[in-house]
Structure 1
Amino acid sequence: MVVGDASLDIDTLVIGAGPGGYTAAIRAAQLGQNVLIVDKANVGGVCLNVGCIPSKALISAAHQYEAVSHGADIGITAGDVKVDFGKVQDFKNGVVKKLTGGVASLLKGNKVQYFNGEVMFINENEARVFNDQEAPRYRFKNCIIATGSRPIELKAFPFGGRILSSTEALSLPEVPKSMIVIGGGYIGIELGQMYSKFGTKITVIEGMDSILPGFDTDMTKLVEKKLKSKDVEIITGAQAKSAEQTDNDITLTYTVNGEDKQVTADYLLVTVGRRPNTDGELGLDLINLKMTDRGMIEVDDQCRTSIPHIFAIGDIVAGPALAHKASYEAKVAAEAIAGMPSKVDYKCIPLVVFSDPECSSVGFSEKEAKEKGHNVKVGKFPFNINGRALSLNATDGFVKIISDADSGLVLGAQIAGLEASNLIAEMGLAIEMGATVEDIALTIHAHPTLGEIAMEAAEVALGHPIHTIVK
């Protein structure tokens, strides 16, 4: 651990070492600032340690297990396929260790001071950082708050025992026989579907009318179809009421259509959203920082708070709780401190669900584009007539491009299917660069690739596709 002398001033204090915090610290250091970053947990934050990265490692393992188990569909028989979940967890932990170690090296390489502990503001220009061994006091010229968020804990379902948050769900020692998931949003669906692929009987309890609320209904239907093919029970319009644990299982009581019902499983996973980490001992009340009634910090388009030299980024400010949003805001904040004119522009921020099939979206949906007054033209092309998708035996999905009919400008896109998380990047670039659907259609895409589907969707929007008939 490297820390500066307690009597020394620093240019920038960064609170939180997740994707937002460590990115802010590195960019600030690159711009010539003397930076101290503080985190009470591990470098990498929730994302690298108990969120994005470990969940995707487990999801990847689940996909591979399913692919091997169903190899007979394409003429490959693998025999009796088994899961050693201990080794799966070892694989996940290895990925996490490599990435967090890499971040620590980046901080060191950029001469960022790191303190493993907590922070308490003393006033607008001073803070005490502390752990069990020391409690130095720092004076700072600027500060970037990037404390992230944590799973929302429901009063009726306190975490512990057989009631899990996403954190505990990622570290189970073995594949459970059954699991109830409260919340059909992206976290609940990703983890529930992952365990279902390993053989867990999953029951999803969702309060809204469909899973993945807020996403394109064409997407959610594909995911729901896949879930049901794995015997996942999806109960929508349902409200969870109470749970009773025993040494061996847990029984959930829920209400649907005015009727109380029960379901029993090995575990209950609660994924109903995340809460900003702006409470506790941070001492934001001592500096009178302007906040919303939901505990979010109010910021301007440079991530500057009501105190001009204090910035806030990531899950503690308005917008979706996404690691890539936090990293983007981190660069803006660090550059603003350095006097650069950087400002946030969220029109190209992608949303991704690592479900099966994957779902991704960027820019406007068709409905949003119409609400903004655009004369909308949609181009949609399915995976099931794409050569690469057919050869990969992954034919569920589509690319949908939302464009302005008058100018041809790409306004948004929604992609469902294999590698949707990667394919959406082209659509984001198109919007960022002010590209038209003709630009996408005229861009030569390699054959045979999934990327061709974007080109085909653009040609549909233009009215002259080669590989489908426009009706």
Structure 2
Amino acid sequence: MVMGDVTTGTDVLVIGGGPGGYVAAIRAAQRDLDVTLVEKDAYGGTCLNHGCIPSKALINAADVAHEAAHAEGMGIHADPAVDAAALTDWKDDVVDQLTGGVEKLCKANGVTLIEGTAAFSGEHTARIAHGGDGQGMESVEFEHAIVATGSRPIEIPNFPFAEEAVWSSRDALAADTVPDRLVVVGAGYIGMELSTTFAKLGADVTVVEMLDDVLPIYEDDVKRVVRSRAEELGIDFSFGEGASDRRETDDGDGDGDGIEIVTETEDGEESVYGADRVLVAVGREPVTDTLELDAAGLEPDENGVLKTDAQGRTDLDHVFAVGDVAGDPMLAHAASHEGIVAAETIAGEPAALDAQAIPSAVFTDPEIGTVGLTEAEAAEDGFDPVVGEMPLRASGRALTMDETDGFVRIVADEPSGYVLGGQVVAPEASELIAEIGLAIEMGATLEDVATTVHTHPTLSEAVMEAAENALGQAIHTLNR
């Protein structure tokens, strides 16, 4: 039996329960708005269930195994064995704790939760298809809507994710075995994070990239450290090649023992790489094609992105978009901030986005953390930049960790001293970058950072020393 089509009403309809959607829903509810959140899969979205959290769990576990196996210089000798199935169970337990927590937080704040797939049926209405046979449809009338449907991995021709041997990032994170041979297509942040992880877990990894280097959006000296460490781990790079085809290989027993990846250069030159699995990590695309946007009078751009203003409004004043569907930066913490801004705007409060102070991180070895402007960007924007840097080889804490590859760099406006940006390549760079982000947000100067007493011995001292270096008065590194 099919249930009837029920119509309900709400002040704010949030479509998508990822880090943009559930945060927006909770903040809107905290502002005494009636909020309905629709999620088709699992609360927490891709980030919590199939991206940020499981990847960091695996990265941490791989680091533990690798460090234990390579600590001879400290007098520690170990030969750890990785139980991939048990590792997957532990990772899944971490995810389950967090997804359950998100659902409880939403309910505790009075958010109405609906499981299903939402699509617009008018400017102020949406229909929700519930999963499962006989579950029927539901209509929701809303005053405001927040679209937070996230993104999905991009497929490339001849490499469908439906094939067992072809992995998306989601498939890689769900795997309960480590392939002997892994080819990674794409050397962006996802490709580099996962290639490093699987190399540390014992796979022979080859990375194929059409461009001429890894991590294309980062400065050369930033990515050089990460690429060099990856090569030390045994990762092979093939630049200037794009994956064009794959074919199964067989030793004659009919079991399909592996695959071959065919690549091409721009000149048409082919190469072939043997593998057990191929991970396609060439980027992500917004999920807007399921929303029936035309029914609401909205149209995404050619990339599927819904353009928004500083408050997250789309072309319709009452419909907002946050997170990956609103385009770059496609970052979970950016989505959460955008969700808060959208919710507070709907509640009638003054709120706006400040993209300059949104940090980004790559969880490679070592990590990369960046925020604000680079030296070149600061000059292009009309500033007179001054740069300070602290190499990790001069950091006592880095030496005690046996992690001396990398640096902390801070960029400021020389006449005023205001901090404009920073780039960190170091262990825990994702943590260290927060201090520079706070300095930008507060309008702090180099002197403010330099005169803030930092605990010794810590990696965070390098931020202080970089500020001192920019002022020409560093103690523990040579001044520029």
SS in 2 for 1:384: helix
Tell me, in whole angstroms, the C-alpha distance in 2 between the residues paired with 1:86 and 1:106.
30
1:343-354 aligned at under 5 Å gives the runs 343-354=352-363
Contact map agreement 1:128 1:135 (CA 8 A) in 2: yes
1:94 CA drift (Å)? 0.8
Q: Provide the residue aligned with 1:443 in structure 2.
A: 452
Tell me, in whole angstroms, the C-alpha distance in 2 between the residues paired with 1:188 and 1:395.
24
Q: Provide the residue aligned with 2:13 in structure 1.
A: 13
Contact map agreement 1:250 1:264 (CA 8 A) in 2: yes
- Is the aligned partner of 1:275 residue 2:285? yes
Q: Provide the residue aligned with 1:287 in structure 2.
A: 296
Change in CA separation of 1:409 and 1:266 when aligned onto 2, cut-off 3 Å: same
Tell me, in whole angstroms, the C-alpha distance in 2 between the residues paired with 1:372 and 1:196.
40
- Is the aligned partner of 1:334 residue 2:343? yes
Aligned-residue Cα RMSD (Å) equals 1.2
Tell me, in whole angstroms, the C-alpha distance in 1 between the residues paired with 2:409 and 2:260.
41
Tell me, in whole angstroms, the C-alpha distance in 2 between the residues paired with 1:193 and 1:62.
9
Counterpart of 2:439 (choices 419, 430, 437) is 430
Deviation readout 1:64-116 (Å, 9 max, x if unpaired)? 001111122211123x3211111110110011001001101101101111111
Counterpart of 1:161 (choices 147, 160, 164) is 164
Q: Provide the residue aligned with 2:59 in structure 1.
A: 59
Q: Provide the residue aligned with 1:86 in structure 2.
A: 85
1:209 CA drift (Å)? 1.4
Contact map agreement 1:290 1:305 (CA 8 A) in 2: no
Tell me, in whole angstroms, the C-alpha distance in 1 between the residues paired with 2:17 and 2:40.
9
Q: Provide the residue aligned with 1:102 in structure 2.
A: 101
Tell me, in whole angstroms, the C-alpha distance in 2 between the residues paired with 1:227 and 1:121.
46
Contact map agreement 1:12 1:36 (CA 8 A) in 2: yes
Detail structure 1 runs of 4+ shifted over 3 Å in the superposition. Answer: 5-8
1:208-219 aligned at under 5 Å gives the runs 208-219=211-222
1:2-81 aligned at under 5 Å gives the runs 6-78=6-78, 80-81=79-80
Q: Provide the residue aligned with 1:230 in structure 2.
A: 233
1:318 CA drift (Å)? 2.7
Code of the aligned partner of 1:19: P
1:310-329 aligned at under 5 Å gives the runs 310-329=319-338
1:306 CA drift (Å)? 1.1
Q: Which blocks of at least 5 consecutive residues in structure 2 are unaligned?
A: 250-255
Tell me, in whole angstroms, the C-alpha distance in 1 between the residues paired with 2:369 and 2:220.
12
- Is the aligned partner of 1:409 residue 2:418? yes
Deviation readout 1:350-378 (Å, 9 max, x if unpaired)? 11000000001000011111111211111
1:291 CA drift (Å)? 2.3
Q: Provide the residue aligned with 2:473 in structure 1.
A: 464
SS in 2 for 1:215: coil
1:130 CA drift (Å)? 1.8
Q: Provide the residue aligned with 1:241 in structure 2.
A: 244
1:6 CA drift (Å)? 3.5
Contact map agreement 2:157 2:244 (CA 8 A) in 1: no
Tell me, in whole angstroms, the C-alpha distance in 2 between the residues paired with 1:103 and 1:351.
23
Code of the aligned partner of 1:110: N
Counterpart of 2:378 (choices 362, 369, 378) is 369
- Is the aligned partner of 1:207 residue 2:210? yes
Give the TM-score normalised by the residue count of structure 2: 0.95
Code of the aligned partner of 1:370: A
SS in 2 for 1:8: strand
1:257 CA drift (Å)? 6.9
Give the TM-score normalised by the residue count of structure 1: 0.97
Identity %: 46
